[in-house]
Homo-oligomer: A and B are copies of this chain.
Amino acid sequence: MATQLSSKEDYESLLDKYDTWMFDCDGVLWRGDSPIDGAVETLNSSGKRLLFVTNNATKSRKNYKGKFDNIGAQVTVDEIYGSAYAAAVYISSVMKLPKDKKVFVIGMSGLEEELKEEGISFIGGTDSADNTLETFTLANFTLDPDVAAVLCGLDMRINYTKLSKAFQYLTRNPGCQFLVTNEDSTFPTADGLLPGAGSISAPLRFALGRDPISIGKPAKTMLDCIQAK
C-alpha cells in the first residue's frame, strides 16, 4: 500500500526498514547527461545495498558504469541491471536459442554488446547495410532462415529497411519470436520527451497485429533476472 511521507522521521523510518534499494536511472538519477540535484551524494553516502534498474537498452551495463563514473557515483557493473542485459539473458537462458540460430536486432550498440557478452549471434542493429534511407525492395532481400527472433529496443537510427526486414522474419520464418527490450512510449532527455522503445516497436506490432514479449519494467522478466542473481 502506498504511504504518504511528510516528516523527516517518516523518511528515516522508511530508510531504516530496507537494506536493499532499487533505483531507476533516466529521469531519476539524471536527465540526459545532467545528474539530478542531490542524487550522487545520496547514493554515495547511503550505506545501503544499491541496485540500478533501467529500461534504457541503448546502453550496455559497461556503458552505464561509465556514465556513473562520469557523474561521480561509486557503482559497480554488477549493481546495474538494464533491459539490454536482461534481453540477452532471456534469449540465452529462457528461450535457449540454439547456437546455430541468430537474432535480428533493431537497436543500438549497447544492446549488441550485451548479446555478444552472452554469445548470441545477431544481424541488423548497427550494421551499415541496415542503417540506410535508400529504398528497400524485397527483390534485393535474401531471407536468412537462421533468424529465430527479432529483438527491438530504442533505435535512433530506425528506418524502413530495418522495419521491413524484421517484418519479413516475423512473418516468413516459422516460429520467429518477437521480443522488445521494454514498452516505454517515451523517454526523458535533458530537454524533454522523445519517442521510446515501445514507439519504435509499434510499426511491427501494428503490421503483425500482435504484441511482443517485453523484457523490461513493468514486465516481470527483468526482475526475475535480478532475483536469480
- Which residues of A are interface residues toward B (Cβ below 8 A)? 131-133, 135-139, 155-160, 163-164, 167-168, 171, 185-186, 189-196, 198-200, 202-207, 209
Contacts and interface: CB of A to CB of B under 8 A. Distances in A.
Given A137-B189, A202-B203, A203-B195, A160 B157 contact: yes
Given A131-B133, A206-B202, A190 B139 contact: yes
A199 B191 contact: no
A158 B158 contact: yes
Nearest to A160: B156
B139 A195 contact: no
A133 B171 CA distance: 26
B185 A206 contact: yes
Nearest to A209: B185
Nearest to A156: B160
Contact of A156 (B135, B156, B189, B193): B135
Given A133-B131, A156-B160, A160-B158, A138 B191 contact: yes
B202 A139 contact: no
State how many copies of this chain the complex holds. Answer: 2
A156 B168 CA distance: 16
Nearest to A164: B194
B190 A198 contact: no
Contact of A202 (B155, B190, B202): B202
A199 B207 contact: yes
Given A185-B209, A206-B185, A207-B196, A133 B157 contact: yes
Contacts of A200: 203
A158 B189 CA distance: 22
B191 A207 contact: no
A199 B209 CA distance: 10
Contacts of A193: 167, 171
B160 A195 contact: yes
4 shortest interchain CB distances as A-B pairs: A138-B191, A202-B202, A202-B206, A199-B203
20 contacts: A133-B157, A133-B159, A136-B156, A136-B194, A138-B189, A155-B160, A156-B160, A157-B159, A158-B163, A160-B195, A168-B192, A186-B207, A195-B203, A195-B207, A198-B206, A198-B207, A199-B202, A202-B202, A202-B206, A203-B203
